[in-house]
Structure 1
Amino acid sequence: MTSKLKKIPSYLRELLFMLIFRPLGAIGRHICPSLRGLWLISERGTDARDNGYRFYSYLVSEQPEVNARYVITPGSPDRPLIDKLGGAVNYRSPRHYIMYYAADALISTHVQPAAPDKVIYFRLAQHGLHARGRQVYLKHGIINNAMDWLHYGSLYIDLFVCGAKPEYDHVRSTFGFPEGVVRYLGLCRYDSLQEPGSGERMILLMPTWRGSGYPSGDAFYDTEYCRSFRSLLASPELARLLEESDTRLVFYPHIEMQRYIDCFRAGSDRITIADAGSHDVQQLLRDCALLITDYSSVFFDVAYLGKPIIYYQFDEEEFRSMHYRAGYFDCRRDGFGPVCTDEAQLLSALRGCIGSGMIPDEEYKRRAELFFPLRDRNNCRRTYEAVREITSDGR
């Protein structure tokens, strides 16, 4: 992108690109073989490690007749994964824009699938300015919080994939989408999530994000979030517990909090502060023997695997008022492990869980079985069949 274009306000720039590339895509899909029947897939545009990547991998290996391409930045650490599969499209390149307007299906873990700018294109779509392709929302996790902005009217989606039965029931009955849009197909990444892990005694500490608009690292350092996890990681009792049980702990903050990772210090050589560039979340979930989280939806993945979970919710009132309102899922009523509100409770629960062999209680196992009645390795196949169905009308 030239320096002159960068000076144009982003909304005006995208409108200009729409005027240029929309007709090129419309014409190109009729005369260019590489644009016919195109399925354009992405995640954030900078990565390949979630449902988008898993679905694309499935298409390349199992459905090679599908004309599928994957959008990702050239400098992404995940780019080699896509280069190995073939079909990479540089994010926000002219080719990306043309393919976006030519594609039969736009598929992503985020709303405004495969769009060059998700925020701007979300706003444009609300004014009827959207691409012609069928929009497929794979999501990047199970929905459990109140998310009004995902309701029909704010969001226009042709296929809304759910990964659990209660989630499907909730979204289908309350989000207002037309019949048939919301489907319980299973998350694509769950197909490979069931592959064997390392078998080691590893605890995964993986909290979700908080407001990221801190003016500096010092401002973040003073937050309750930072203080609470710094205290836990430095806890002598935690260090003793890990040593006594021959266990290690991996602390992996949410991708949006990785910028502050240098604020945290390990109080034991059995603790690893994990950065996103060198650790794969899917592999960490497979390898862990136990998960500690606050509100991150990854606890659904771990419950799916039948592993124990401890919730550490030291700031529940603030989180619910400032981030996500509680939805249909209540961790105390429906969750898959004990809810702890301070460090002492957490360490006590952790000691008990380790002492019982890191096996979930029968009640928590029962809840997980009811939450995930669909348990196989056919999630990608079902998603493929659903996308094929909604694109068969040739729109």
Structure 2
Amino acid sequence: MKKEKNCYWLFNDRPINANDNAEYFFEYINKNHKKIAKKCYFILSKDSPDIDRMRKIGKVVIQNSFKHKYLYLNAKYIFTSHLATSFFKPISFKHLKYYNDLIESKIVWLQHGITMNDIESAANKFNKQVSKIVTGATFESQIFSQKKFFYQDNDLYKTGFPRYDKLRKGNEKTILIMPTWRSYLSGRILPSGLHAEIDSFKDSAYFNNFFNLLSNEELYEKLKEYGYKIKFILHPGFKQYVKYFKPLDNDVIEIIDEVSFSYNKLFNESCLLVTDYSSVFFDFSYTKKPCLFFQFDTDEFYGNHYKKGYFDFETMAPGKIITDLNLLTWEIIKMMETNMYMDNIYINRISNIHQYMDNQNSERLLAEVLKNG
């Protein structure tokens, strides 16, 4: 199966959809570097709704197909936004040992979001055999430079994330509510890249807080009065639960249930982000617009999902920290009343976070890859 000197560049986000750093880097290369693009392939599940769209950008290969296996064994680089090996390795762990001496590809971890929690065990250089990491924040580069991660300085591509290149300032009257997931409220990962349900989800503080927020009558009336709309988007790890929120759809609240859509388009068109601990605020803050952080379950979250890490929300987050549902409702209403006023302290924090804010991250990343390999 291995016939060529390692030359192919493979790209992947989640199997079921693109729309992450791999897609935007893949698109940049296909548009601007035709010679390199000839050896580039994007990997997607046969069930992905993004296949036709991505084929308009460049070459697509079906995950785990014979061609995927051939390309994988002859790959020079694997650019992945996720470290779940089943997303980009088409050969089972059981059989991988027969091919190890043939695999010479370098894994370039584009990341799904800026790292702010302690992920030493999952992200050190030798756990997933990562060759290079792309960083998007100043403090993040300092994190991965620590000895416990085993990376040298030239293993870090301090370029910013490719998907940030498409972020713009737009300011429509849309409020995004985008909480992260909780691993302890989700079942095993399925071949599609989505997760199985667990029975206790509807009894959780997570479900009740967000369900009650979206069904609040006063908030509904104020949205209509000031001409705003809410879009509620579950993390991909919770997509199996969208049906429990879907009944809340109305004329000013939309529950997004698509598997695949453009996050950047949503960020560009929105004026306020409400999240919890999700790194999605890094993307949104790149557009210099306000954020609110609803952190009602801090002890449970850091006790069961992530180990608290390097980012101190109290001193570094570009928005208020809120722990009470009633206070959150009041704060959203106040933001509408003040036309989304953003305090200078949070504007300054945004500037301290991002390494670059010039929308040229893909160009920098390719230059690093070609220079350092």
Tell me, yes or no, whether TM beats 0.5. yes
Aligned match for 1:40, one of 1, 6, 10: 10
Aligned residue number for residue 220 of structure 1: 201
123 and 244 in structure 1: CA distance in 2 versus 1, 3 angstrom threshold: farther
**Which string of whole-angstrom CA distances, capped at 9 and with x for unpartnered residues, describes residues 270-320 of structure 1?**
000111336422211111100000111100111111010000111111000
Contact 1:121 1:130 in 2 (8 A): no
Aligned residue number for residue 156 of structure 2: 182
Higher relative contact order (CA 8 A, sep 6+): 2
Cα distance in structure 1, aligned partners of 2:160 and 2:76:
22
- Kindly state the Cα deviation for residue 72 of structure 1 after the two structures are TM-superposed: 1.0
124 and 164 in structure 1: CA distance in 2 versus 1, 3 angstrom threshold: farther
Aligned residue for 1:377, secondary structure, equals coil
106 and 269 in structure 1: CA distance in 2 versus 1, 3 angstrom threshold: same
Cα distance in structure 1, aligned partners of 2:157 and 2:4:
29
**Residue 172 in structure 1 maps to residue 170 in structure 2:** no
Cα distance in structure 1, aligned partners of 2:313 and 2:219:
24
Aligned residue for 1:324, secondary structure, equals coil
Aligned match for 1:358, one of 307, 323, 340: 340
Contact 2:174 2:271 in 1 (8 A): yes
Aligned match for 1:156, one of 110, 114, 129: 129
Cα distance in structure 2, aligned partners of 1:308 and 1:314:
19
Cα distance in structure 2, aligned partners of 1:165 and 1:123:
40
TM-score normalised by L of structure 1: 0.84
Cα distance in structure 2, aligned partners of 1:130 and 1:336:
47
130 and 109 in structure 1: CA distance in 2 versus 1, 3 angstrom threshold: farther
Aligned match for 2:4, one of 12, 29, 36: 29
Aligned residue number for residue 27 of structure 2: 57
- Kindly state the Cα deviation for residue 58 of structure 1 after the two structures are TM-superposed: 0.6
Aligned residue number for residue 330 of structure 2: 348
Aligned residue number for residue 388 of structure 1: 370
Kindly provide the amino acid, as one letter, of the partner of residue 169 in structure 1.
Answer: Q
Aligned match for 1:367, one of 344, 349, 353: 349
161 and 329 in structure 1: CA distance in 2 versus 1, 3 angstrom threshold: same
**Which string of whole-angstrom CA distances, capped at 9 and with x for unpartnered residues, describes residues 92-114 of structure 1?**
00110111110111111012496
Aligned match for 1:234, one of 205, 215, 235: 215
- Kindly state the Cα deviation for residue 130 of structure 1 after the two structures are TM-superposed: 8.3
Q: Which runs of 5+ in 1 are unaligned?
A: 1-23, 31-35
Aligned residue number for residue 244 of structure 1: 225
Aligned residue for 2:144, secondary structure, equals helix
Greater CA deviation, 330-339 or 347-356?
347-356
Contact 2:24 2:163 in 1 (8 A): yes
**Residue 207 in structure 1 maps to residue 186 in structure 2:** no
Contact 1:152 1:176 in 2 (8 A): yes
113 and 130 in structure 1: CA distance in 2 versus 1, 3 angstrom threshold: farther
139 and 123 in structure 1: CA distance in 2 versus 1, 3 angstrom threshold: farther
Aligned residue number for residue 84 of structure 1: 56
Aligned residue for 1:85, secondary structure, equals coil
Aligned residue for 1:310, secondary structure, equals strand
363 and 124 in structure 1: CA distance in 2 versus 1, 3 angstrom threshold: farther
**Which string of whole-angstrom CA distances, capped at 9 and with x for unpartnered residues, describes residues 46-66 of structure 1?**
211110000000111101111
Kindly provide the amino acid, as one letter, of the partner of residue 156 in structure 1.
Answer: Q
Aligned residue for 2:356, secondary structure, equals coil
**Residue 337 in structure 1 maps to residue 319 in structure 2:** yes
Kindly provide the amino acid, as one letter, of the partner of residue 47 in structure 1.
Answer: N
Aligned residue number for residue 108 of structure 1: 80
Contact 2:80 2:88 in 1 (8 A): no
- Kindly state the Cα deviation for residue 179 of structure 1 after the two structures are TM-superposed: 3.0
331 and 92 in structure 1: CA distance in 2 versus 1, 3 angstrom threshold: same
Cα distance in structure 1, aligned partners of 2:102 and 2:291:
41
Cα distance in structure 2, aligned partners of 1:117 and 1:231:
43
Aligned residue number for residue 281 of structure 1: 263
Aligned residue number for residue 3 of structure 1: none
Kindly provide the amino acid, as one letter, of the partner of residue 157 in structure 1.
Answer: V
CA RMSD of aligned residues (A): 2.4
Q: Which runs of 5+ in 2 are unaligned?
A: 189-195
Kindly provide the amino acid, as one letter, of the partner of residue 71 in structure 1.
Answer: I
Number of residue equivalences: 357
- Kindly state the Cα deviation for residue 123 of structure 1 after the two structures are TM-superposed: 12
- Kindly state the Cα deviation for residue 216 of structure 1 after the two structures are TM-superposed: 5.2
- Kindly state the Cα deviation for residue 154 of structure 1 after the two structures are TM-superposed: 2.0
**Residue 97 in structure 1 maps to residue 72 in structure 2:** no
Cα distance in structure 2, aligned partners of 1:117 and 1:143:
27
User: Identical aligned pairs, as a percentage?
Assistant: 29
Aligned match for 1:323, one of 302, 305, 325: 305
**Which string of whole-angstrom CA distances, capped at 9 and with x for unpartnered residues, describes residues 309-363 of structure 1?**
0001111110000001111111111111111111111012212222221132100
- Kindly state the Cα deviation for residue 387 of structure 1 after the two structures are TM-superposed: 1.8
Kindly provide the amino acid, as one letter, of the partner of residue 344 in structure 1.
Answer: N
Q: Which structure has the larger Rg? A: 1
